[in-house]
Amino acid sequence: MAKINQNYMQLQGSYLFSEVARRRNKFISENPNASIISLGIGDVTRPLPEAVLSGMHAAVDELADSVSFKGYGPEQGYEFLIAQIIGNDYNTRGISLETDEVFVSDGSKCDVANIQEIFSLDTVIAVTDPVYPVYVDSNVMAGRSGAYDKTANRYENIVYLPCNAENNFIPSLPDKKVDLIYLCYPNNPTGMTLSKEELKKWVDFAKANKCIILYDSAYEAYIQEDDVPRSIYEIEGAKDVAIEFRSYSKTAGFTGVRCAYTVVPKGVKAYDEDGNSVTVRDLWNRRQTTKFNGCSYITQKGAAAIYTEAGKEQIRSLVDYYMTNAKIIREGVKSLGFEVYGGVNAPYIWLKTPNGLGSWQFFDKLLSEANIVGTPGVGFGQSGEGYLRLTAFGSRENTETAVERLTKISL
Ligand code: MLT
């Protein structure tokens, strides 16, 4: 008899973005003439940059020739890409990394979900609340969450760090023992950032308590302000306590192409049952070589092209395009009297729902009255209740129309 992994029974409902899509599709089937604008899931809409396409086309041609053909590539990624990553994304900011500390993959979602596998099942995880649901759900699947408390909308063994308007979306350090801390900055879903001083508190805390920080930096390319840290390794000592995740999805329009990378410095240690330290990088390497066959050559050639002068210029204009959308949404909803956060260093705008409406209530209202799909804040955690997230990843036309439509809803 095939038995299921009982931990899956602890998962709540469906994955957030699947539920949003389900409600949208139901609305469309009942209102086939409605013209829906989706500002829900953070999925890009602009085509791939020209430099990326040229890189990919050239790679396709190489694969057509028996001399330059490639089969399996290195599970960790091709050196031509890793060299560009280290040189451009780190060395330019005074951060040194070794080639074997960088792991190219097919997405940060997979990496942030898979990394927990190498830690013990009694590891206590801490997450900000609201939070990108993958961090929580992957730990539920593994069996670390404990039971789900329906009233609290939380798992009993997970440590939640509330982020809301009252604390300016800055999480407090945990007041109990934790082992793994998930931080995502610029933040998904709130669009807020942490200053260097705030981030240093976390690095110091992790050092003092032998914790590891899992730092999701997927939205780093959207940072506009000079003093906002782009990498956790800008903080002294972070290479001993932090793993960093970066993605080309939002940076270069790769949500459908799939390419990302994870940095696991050799200084990051975890402990075996006897208290001996183990290099986490070696375990991640072991995991990846066993379960992953690398990201495709064509994709990695496309990613490497981002680092050419033309590529850099093109992704800058891609980011500018979406950040102009963010400004349009932010200023538009602000002028309508909404309390609004984020959207300055991130492509997400986090707004307080009007008149005390619950997140899903406001989601339904936006869908039915303005035909706009957002993402209900409570879907990211209990502290997101009473908020809704809009993304800046739509087309300019849709973004402007959405703001225009918002003026018409009854508040
Ligand atoms: C989001 O909307 O939060 C993101 O698109 C999710 C993701 O990147 O997986």
CA of residue 338 to ligand 1 center, whole Å: 24
Q: Which residues line ligand 1 (CB under 6 A)?
A: 41-43, 109, 188
Q: What is the pLDDT of residue 57?
A: 98
CA of residue 18 to ligand 1 center, whole Å: 11
Model confidence at 178, in pLDDT bands (50, 70, 90)? very high
- 87-108 average pLDDT score: 98
- 348-376 average pLDDT score: 96
Whose C-alpha lies nearest to ligand 1, atom 3?
42
Ligand 1 nearest atom to the CA of residue 109, by list position? 9
Model confidence at 238, in pLDDT bands (50, 70, 90)? very high
CA of residue 278 to ligand 1 center, whole Å: 32
Model confidence at 198, in pLDDT bands (50, 70, 90)? very high
- Site to probe by mutation for ligand 1, drawn from 43, 112, 373 as the one with most ligand atoms within 8 Å of Cβ, is 43
Whose C-alpha lies nearest to ligand 1, atom 4?
42
pLDDT in tens, 258-289: 999 999 999 999 999 999 999 999 999 999 99
Which has the closest alpha carbon to 281: 116, 103, 124, 138?
103
In the chain the domains, ranked by start, together with CATH numbers, are: 13-47+310-406 (3.90.1150.10), 53-308 (3.40.640.10)
Whose C-alpha lies nearest to ligand 1, atom 5?
42
CA of residue 127 to ligand 1 center, whole Å: 17
Ligand 1 nearest atom to the CA of residue 218, by list position? 8
Q: What is the pLDDT of residue 133?
A: 94
Q: Is 411's pLDDT higher than 90?
A: no
Q: What is the pLDDT of residue 56?
A: 98
Backbone angles phi, psi at 85, to 5 degrees: -60, -50
Model confidence at 17, in pLDDT bands (50, 70, 90)? confident
- 353-358 average pLDDT score: 96
- 192-200 average pLDDT score: 98
